[in-house]
Structure 1
Amino acid sequence: MDRDSTLRVEKTTSLKAVVKKTYVLDTNVLLHDPTAVAAFKQHHVVIPMTVLEELDHIKDRRDKTVSREARIAIQMIDKVVDNASPQDIQAGVPVPGSTPEDVPRGTLAIYPDQRLIGDADVPYLDGTQDQANDNRIINVALSLQAENPAEFVCLVTKDINMRIKAKGSGLIHVEDYRRDRVLDDIDLLARGYEHVEGDFWSMISEVDTLREGNCTLHRIPRKSLPQAYPNMFVHDDQEFIAFVQRVDRDFVYLRCDSRDSLMHKRFWGLSPRNLEQAMAMSLLDNDSVDMTVMTGPAGSGKTLLALAYGLHAILEQNKYSKLIVARSTPPIAEDIGFLPGTEEEKMAPWLAAFDDNLEVLHGTDESCHGSITYVKERANIQFKSLNFMRGRSFNNAYIVIDEAQGLTQFQLKSVISRVGADSKIVVLGNLAQIDNKYISPLTSGLTYLVEKSKAYPHAGIMHVNGIVRSRLAAFAEENL
């Protein structure tokens, strides 16, 4: 044996110990994601008493959406601290499921901020009852930072002004809640199609052709189309267009389509005005696609396409027994409970867009109003508020969720989980028109849904571009 081999020294790498960080959560984080207490892995989560008080007030509000999430957040906290002593709750209780079994669990503590008093050494904000609760929550983070200057103490809030106040008060670490952020840039959001410049086949190194039932598929290497996912379209400048039938680890399976056949598709008298509308109509009419998500600017025809297919599928094909149109209602004084009439009549102010689209589809009829009334009855069109859909199941139904960009991922999940057997759901939204102060295009439930469902073989995504309302609408969307 070579003497040198007996003296060989294996190279070792020293692993740094994971630094445990402390995160102070604002109320809006728990309303945005009621399971947030388990989202910080092996770190220490602190919930100020003020947050619990705010959750207690919110859980009894008339606004069913936010009150439900407040109750779920309270129940999550209760599961963690249920059997712990007061001393343990203030020190930190292990959070079940926050980490894998072989990794130290994160901890959750309740901070009694009512005990905080003025301290010349700590730059506390005014925490009296006359001041906003935000100040008391910021003061908790300032206190923990002063007590543990060598540790990482961070305030997590979705309130932009609160983040500015906290930084201005001397808090070193302040962050937005990013667990729900699935993209770094909204321009990376899946669009449902990929345009290849020039000739598509010139970039393909190898291709096999195989027959599956009545369908001819072209199998190409996955590396030739690395961003491919099921039910997306590929087209080039040479009139080529194909549909991604499925994707596996090594190959992408394409089904060639004809632009002419796509552009000549008709639903309830409606034909596409551009290729994106045509591809969206193809997805809607695909029986293997249980959920279609359509994004795009105002006036691109999303609602009209969804409604036209619903009438086509129910009245001409007898696929479904009812058409359910739903959207969230704003939690302000004109809550639907204050309006007279049935649920459909109460929802009318927020679903007027569907009546407008019915007028488009029947505008040339001799009696437009009579046609719309007749269609509503025959198609069994029901208008619902998302606030009252939870806890119900909808079977053999065609469901349209409108204005989904203002929903959180938790809200969208709770609605989609209501879809029953033999049903199809269509989710519509415009990420440029978010009116929820705690939601951005990157954290919208619609963005989350697109990214999480694009790999699911029974979901289809399409970004419908091109304003079809008028040249003035196109100008407004692009320039104002």
Structure 2
Amino acid sequence: MKKIYILDTNVLLQDPRAIFSFEEHDVVIPAIVLQELDTKKRNMNEIGRNAREVARLLDHLRDRSPLHQGVPLDNGGYLRVELNHLSYERLKEKLPEITNDNRIIALALNLKAEIREENLTDQVILVSKDALVRIKAEAMGLKAEDFLNDRVLVDNDLYKGFITVHVDSEVIERFYQNQEISVSELPCPSLNPHAFVILKNKLQPSASGLGRIDDKGKVLKPVIHDRDRVWGIKPRNVQQKMALDILLDQRLALVTLTGKAGTGKTLLSMAAGLLQTEDLNIYKKLLIARPIVPMGKDIGYLPGEKEEKLRPWMQPIFDNLEFLFNTNKPEELENILAGLGSIQVEALTYIRGRSLPGQLIIIDEAQNLTKHEIKTILTRVGDKSKIVLVGDPEQIDHPYLDAYNNGLAYAVERFKEQSVSGHVSLLKGERSNLAQLAADLL
């Protein structure tokens, strides 16, 4: 049964190619959506880029046929820009305020009524990323759906990077005696390269072993650290041990760490970065960056030079640096950083167009990046560099992202089978008992 999908503005701002995602069904873009896109196209951010991309796609399709008459798409459906159905009669009593969202709902109601009068079997469905628009549309008797085609996760489960396997004590003994064991001997499905395996004794669960799969996904080898602390930081749980293992492995060009607030993602990454940059001289520079996305109400423009403007946004990074350098005075930290010269704290705004060879790059709060932004960042990484993406997919401040379509989850899922990457999901908070309770309860 052929359907008619009416797209809200936020769908196109999230994914400009959403118009090609509905197979053989028809796609309708209301005229008011074009007006909203027009107000966004000058924004110098991801939203503005997507608005301009939609405009280019529609202009390209316009060469085939006038958009208001309908343009055939390669997947068998039709796309049209709806200029009519501007009547607000069907909504003015129930939703008297004429907003853009209500106009889109009114258009969908008008289309549905027209189809009913013509005795057609088509179904009209409003597609929106805005939950309130979907709720209002359903209350008006319309079908309303979220746009799910941009989801990275199909089963809602982000790859954790480790599994627990229960085995006989003999397997654990042989594992450490031979310093390896074939994955085929483990009672589990095939594993991704550099995935961790926690081996637990079936009869005595407290007896366990920890190993990591090799880059071919065939052999499990023990995780053994030759140092108790990394820049004064000692791993407090098994996931933190896993994180340090892949952070200190120069063979891995990409490391992704996810976890709730207080699990130690950023601190472990920076400690490993300082060790490899300052002590071991593996990398010539440590670059730490984070996206500028406010939590709550934006504080507006800030006075001063670039460094002064960035300081409030970068303060979480400086907090970790103060802890690692054992100082609580900002001026002391500034003197230390100026003296070292190899540590750079930057906003992601300035990373486009750069090439970053021979550096260890840490991207904090990566869950607030889109898939396109993650691609832009990863394509900046130069030869002999390593990049670490850190974030909590459940703690997103970006208006058009969620736990299922953000750039961090995208990178984790796309690279989980690649031999150049490693991932760990940290589970236990170590900041404080209160922080752990807040992360769990709130």
TM bin, normalised by shorter chain, reads 0.7 to 0.9
Report 1:386-401 matches (<5 A).
Answer: 386-401=348-363
Contact 1:315 1:379 in 2 (8 A): no
After superposition, the Cα gap between the structure-2 partners of 1:354 and 1:199, relative to the gap in structure 1 and judged at 3 Å, is farther
What secondary structure, in the 3-state scheme, does the structure 1 residue paired with 2:218 have? strand
Contact 2:374 2:407 in 1 (8 A): yes
After superposition, the Cα gap between the structure-2 partners of 1:268 and 1:369, relative to the gap in structure 1 and judged at 3 Å, is farther
- How far, CA to CA, are the matches of 1:383 and 1:46 in structure 2? 45
RCO higher in structure (CA 8 A, sep ≥6)? 2
Contact 2:88 2:103 in 1 (8 A): no
What residue number does 1:34 align with? 16
Q: Which residue of the other structure, out of 255, 280, 298, is the alignment partner of 2:220? A: 255
Q: Which residue of the other structure, out of 176, 183, 187, is the alignment partner of 2:153? A: 183
- How far, CA to CA, are the matches of 1:313 and 1:343 in structure 2? 28
User: What letter corresponds to residue 144 of structure 2 in structure 1?
Assistant: V
Q: Which residue of the other structure, out of 102, 116, 124, is the alignment partner of 1:153? A: 124
What residue number does 1:55 align with? 37
What residue number does 2:50 align with? 69
Report 1:36-435 matches (<5 A).
Answer: 36-61=18-43, 64-81=45-62, 83-86=63-66, 89-95=67-73, 99=75, 105-113=76-84, 116-118=86-88, 123-124=90-91, 131-149=98-116, 150-171=121-142, 173-186=143-156, 188-199=157-168, 218-221=181-184, 224-226=187-189, 228-237=191-200, 238-247=207-216, 252-258=217-223, 261-262=224-225, 264-330=227-293, 333-335=298-300, 338-363=301-326, 369-370=331-332, 373-375=335-337, 377-435=339-397
Structure 1 residues 222-265: Cα deviation after superposition (integer angstroms, max 9, x where no partner): 99431511111001223322211135xxxx4123214xx33845
Residues 1:440 and 2:407 aligned together:
no
Structure 1 residues 16-48: Cα deviation after superposition (integer angstroms, max 9, x where no partner): xxx432211111111111221222233222111
Tell which structure's C-alpha radius of gyration is larger: 1
Q: What displacement does 1:189 show?
A: 1.7
What secondary structure, in the 3-state scheme, does the structure 2 residue paired with 1:351 have? helix
What secondary structure, in the 3-state scheme, does the structure 1 residue paired with 2:283 have? coil
- How far, CA to CA, are the matches of 1:192 and 1:364 in structure 2? 34
Structure 1 residues 299-357: Cα deviation after superposition (integer angstroms, max 9, x where no partner): 1111111111121122122232322222222376535xx32344333221111111111
Contact 1:29 1:158 in 2 (8 A): yes
What residue number does 1:102 align with? none
TM-score (norm 2): 0.87
Contact 1:126 1:135 in 2 (8 A): no
Deviates more, 1:263-272 or 1:321-330: 263-272
After superposition, the Cα gap between the structure-2 partners of 1:318 and 1:110, relative to the gap in structure 1 and judged at 3 Å, is same
What residue number does 1:21 align with? 3
Contact 1:299 1:467 in 2 (8 A): yes
- How far, CA to CA, are the matches of 2:390 and 2:169 in structure 1? 30
Q: What displacement does 1:478 show?
A: 2.6
- How far, CA to CA, are the matches of 1:222 and 1:168 in structure 2? 56
Q: What displacement does 1:118 show?
A: 4.5
- How far, CA to CA, are the matches of 2:378 and 2:128 in structure 1? 27
% identical equivalent positions: 37
What secondary structure, in the 3-state scheme, does the structure 1 residue paired with 2:411 have? helix
- How far, CA to CA, are the matches of 2:315 and 2:16 in structure 1? 32
User: What letter corresponds to residue 152 of structure 2 in structure 1?
Assistant: V
Contact 1:265 1:278 in 2 (8 A): no
Structure 1 residues 104-162: Cα deviation after superposition (integer angstroms, max 9, x where no partner): x333211114x52255xxx3458999621111112222222222241122111000000
Contact 1:200 1:236 in 2 (8 A): no
Q: What displacement does 1:198 show?
A: 4.9
User: What letter corresponds to residue 92 of structure 1 in structure 2?
Assistant: G
- How far, CA to CA, are the matches of 2:148 and 2:196 in structure 1? 31
- How far, CA to CA, are the matches of 2:266 and 2:5 in structure 1? 42
TM-score (norm 1): 0.80
- How far, CA to CA, are the matches of 1:69 and 1:387 in structure 2? 17
Q: What displacement does 1:58 show?
A: 0.8
After superposition, the Cα gap between the structure-2 partners of 1:51 and 1:384, relative to the gap in structure 1 and judged at 3 Å, is farther
Q: How many residues align?
A: 428
Q: What displacement does 1:185 show?
A: 4.8
**5+ residue gaps, structure 2:** 201-206
After superposition, the Cα gap between the structure-2 partners of 1:53 and 1:453, relative to the gap in structure 1 and judged at 3 Å, is same
What residue number does 1:8 align with? none
TM-align CA RMSD: 3.1
- How far, CA to CA, are the matches of 1:445 and 1:147 in structure 2? 40
What secondary structure, in the 3-state scheme, does the structure 1 residue paired with 2:149 have? coil
Structure 1 residues 160-195: Cα deviation after superposition (integer angstroms, max 9, x where no partner): 000011111121x21101012233554x22111111
What secondary structure, in the 3-state scheme, does the structure 2 residue paired with 1:221 have? helix
After superposition, the Cα gap between the structure-2 partners of 1:231 and 1:200, relative to the gap in structure 1 and judged at 3 Å, is farther
What residue number does 1:7 align with? none
What secondary structure, in the 3-state scheme, does the structure 2 residue paired with 1:240 have? strand
